[in-house]
Amino acid sequence: MKKIVACFFLLSVAVFSSSAQSEANYDESKVPVFVLPPLLANEDGKKVSSTQEWENDCRPEILALLADQEYGVMPAGDFSTKYEVVAVNPKSLGGKATCKQVKITFGKGYIEQPVILLMYLPNQVKGKAPLFMGYNFGGNQTVHPDPEIIPTSEAQRGAVRSRWPLEKIIAAGYGVVSIDCNQVFPDNRDGLRGSVLRLFGVNDETDLRMNTGQAMTAWAWGLSRALDYLQTDPEVDAKKVIAIGHSRLGKAALWAGAQDTRFAAVVANESGCGGAALSKRAFGETVAIITKGFPYWFCKNFNSYAGNEQSLPFDQHELLALIAPRPLYVASAEGDRWADPKGEYLSAKYASEAYELYGYKGITAEDMPPVNTPVMNRVGYHIRSGNHDITEYDWEQYLRFAKATLK
Q: How far is the CB of 14 from ligand GTR (least distance, A)?
A: 9
**Is residue 22 among the annotated active site residues?**
no
Nearer to ligand GTR, 250 or 374 (CB): 250
Residue 68: name the closest of 246, 305, 324 by CA: 305
From the number of C-beta atoms within 10 Å of its C-beta (0-12, 13-18, 19+), residue 396 rates as middle
Q: How far is the CB of 310 from ligand GTR (least distance, A)?
A: 20
Q: How far is the CB of 384 from ligand GTR (least distance, A)?
A: 16
Nearer to ligand GTR, 253 or 290 (CB): 290
DSSP secondary structure letter of residue 69: I
Q: How far is the CB of 247 from ligand GTR (least distance, A)?
A: 3
Q: How far apart are CA 72 and CA 43, in angstroms?
A: 19
HSE-CB of 397 using CA atoms within 13 angstroms: 25
Three-state secondary structure along 350-368? HHHHHHHHCCCCCCCCCCC
Nearer to ligand GTR, 120 or 185 (CB): 185
Question: Does 290 participate in binding ligand GTR (rule CB under 6 A)?
Answer: yes
Contacts with ligand GTR: how many residues (CB under 6 A)?
8
Q: How far is the CB of 249 from ligand GTR (least distance, A)?
A: 7
Question: Does 336 participate in binding ligand GTR (rule CB under 6 A)?
Answer: no
Nearer to ligand GTR, 200 or 296 (CB): 296
CB 260 within 8 A of CB 231: no
Three-state secondary structure along 71-121? HCECCCCCCEEEEEEEEEEEEHHHHCEEEEEEEEEEEECCEEEEEEEEEEE
Nearer to ligand GTR, 202 or 277 (CB): 277
**Is residue 388 among the annotated active site residues?**
yes
**Pick the catalytic residue: 178, 247, 279, 352?**
247
Per-residue x/- track, 239-278, ligand GTR (CB under 6 A): --------xx-----------------------xx-----
Q: How far apart are CA 125 and CA 174, in angstroms?
A: 8
Binding segment for ligand GTR (CB under 6 A), chosen from 75-83, 119-127, 177-185, 285-293, is: 285-293
What residue type is 152 in one-letter code? T
* Helix 248-259, helix 215-230: angle, nearest 10: 60
3-state DSSP assignment of residue 184 = coil
Rg (CA), the chain: 20
Nearer to ligand GTR, 175 or 343 (CB): 343
Q: Which helix (H) or strand (E) holds 170?
A: helix 166-171
Nearer to ligand GTR, 240 or 248 (CB): 248
Nearer to ligand GTR, 120 or 164 (CB): 164
Q: How far is the CB of 45 from ligand GTR (least distance, A)?
A: 33
Instruction: Count CB-CB contacts under 10 A for residue 14.
Output: 10
Q: How far is the CB of 36 from ligand GTR (least distance, A)?
A: 21
Question: Does 285 participate in binding ligand GTR (rule CB under 6 A)?
Answer: yes
Per-residue x/- track, 10-29, ligand GTR (CB under 6 A): -------x------------
* Helix 248-259, helix 59-66: angle, nearest 10: 140
Sheet (strand 379-384) strand order: 80-91, 97-108, 111-122, 175-180, 129-136, 236-246, 265-269, 328-333, 379-384, 375-376
Q: How far is the CB of 25 from ligand GTR (least distance, A)?
A: 15
End-to-end CA distance of the chain: 52
Positions that interact with ligand GTR (CB under 6 A): 17, 247-248, 272-273, 285, 290, 293
Catalytic residues: 247, 388
